[in-house]
Amino acid sequence: MQSKWYPKKGRVIFHVDMNSFYASVEAAFDPSLKGKPLAIAGNPEERRGIIVTSSYEARKYGVKTTMPLGEARRLCPDLIVMTPTFNRYRTASKEMFKILADVTSLVQPVSIDEGYMDITACADQGSPPEIAESVQQRIKNELDLPCSIGIAPNKFLAKMASDMKKPMGITILRKRDFQEKLWPLPIEEMYGVGNKTAEKLRKIKIETIGDLANHPALELKSMLGINGERLKNRANGLDDRPVDPEAIHEFKSIGTSTTLPHDTIDDSEIQSVLRRLSNKVEVRMKNKKVLARNVQLTIRYHDRKTVTRSRQLNEFIHLGEDLFQTSIQLFDDHWNQQPVRLLGVTASDLAEKSEVTQQLDLFSFEQYASKEKLYKTIDDLTEKYGKNPFRSLSNPADLQVNTSFQKDFLDDFKK
């Protein structure tokens, strides 16, 4: 029986996804909240607060993440609203991951409320459905928290499977039936396809995951770069990434530098180079889906003397403009007026986008949303004309993106 579940070649992967995690933790802490429409909001004493997450009971009324609190209360007049209690969530997350680690050492946390497990070597503990049910029940019994678990031969299919039944679902997605279950789904429902990518794909008549799986790889690669090829492989059920407990150590810094064609003290030339370097770092950060909270500038002078200076930021950034503004400030503060031969810009103290939570009130959320439209326009023009046609349209201080307890949690998990 076990060989049926545990092939000689290949893996058995779980994706464990906590259901409505923040709201569920609050209900576990205060059982009187169970079964009631509950929302966690960054600023609940004001109508203008923004919904961070909500219980399934609230979602039935149409309450959604990032929705203004006033709108959520109109949809659900009995909505209970609470502020986030980050320490509580972190504690619950650590206990959840301890339960996963009791099954296998091959556990890869990807955020505070989800992670992968490789149970290929766990045949002695039962079949994969039995192990999944045991994990799910332990989390429910010991922490009073619901979760869904996807079982599949790779990480992508396991992730897609865990989304299929919520809350408290266990879904098996085999290679032989993923075409039937996944290919009819709208392209937006595919993990790894965001709104911008979906827009681009629809322009070439890719409406479903199946359309993507069967589209010529060359066109996808020319449109989306290496990510196009990667997404096509995923849509065909191919994903050879291992469950890597060390993956949380992976991102340390992303940087680039250039030697100038001639030594210079020309301020406009120096600014132009720093902007170009910042934009290159932004592209690489986008590809890695990371944000940065530290910017480092490297200056090498005509006599080969090299200095590096960095600035720790109050919030995470991801835009070339923000990287540029910080690097130019560093340059102005530390340049000794001597001719410059090389410049470098590096983003560090990185976190994956999914590990950073934006706690925004309505004002900053609207500001953020309006900026996103502006940045998309700039991106489109840059793509068309080859460079950013605007010099400076943002200030890093304008966008309040607070460091998340999720990042803190991952740091704690490494210890």
N residues, the chain: 415
The answer to whether residue 199 is catalytic is: no
**For tokens 């990287």, what's the residue?**
323
End-to-end CA distance of the chain: 39
The CA distance from 228 to 225, in Å, is 6
Burial track 374-393 (b if 16+ CB lie within 10 A, e otherwise): ebeebeeebeeeeebeeeee
Instruction: Report which of 378, 190, 403, 251 is spatially closest to residue 314, judged by C-alpha positions.
Output: 403
Q: What is the largest CA-CA distance in the chain?
A: 75
Known binder of ligand: residue 17? yes
The CA distance from 11 to 181, in Å, is 20
Residues whose CB falls within 8 Å of the CB of residue 200, separated by 6 or more in sequence, listed in order = 223, 224
Burial of 25: CB neighbours in 10 Å, binned 0-12, 13-18, 19+: buried
Q: How far is CA 50 from CA 73, 87, 291, in A?
A: 11, 20, 22
Instruction: Report which of 247, 288, 9, 250 is spatially closest to residue 106, judged by C-alpha positions.
Output: 247
Known binder of ligand: residue 361? no
Catalytic pick among 26, 57, 114, 355: 114
Q: Which residues are catalytic?
A: 114
Which residue ranges are tagged as binding site for Mg(2+)?
17, 113
Which residue ranges are tagged as binding site?
17, 113
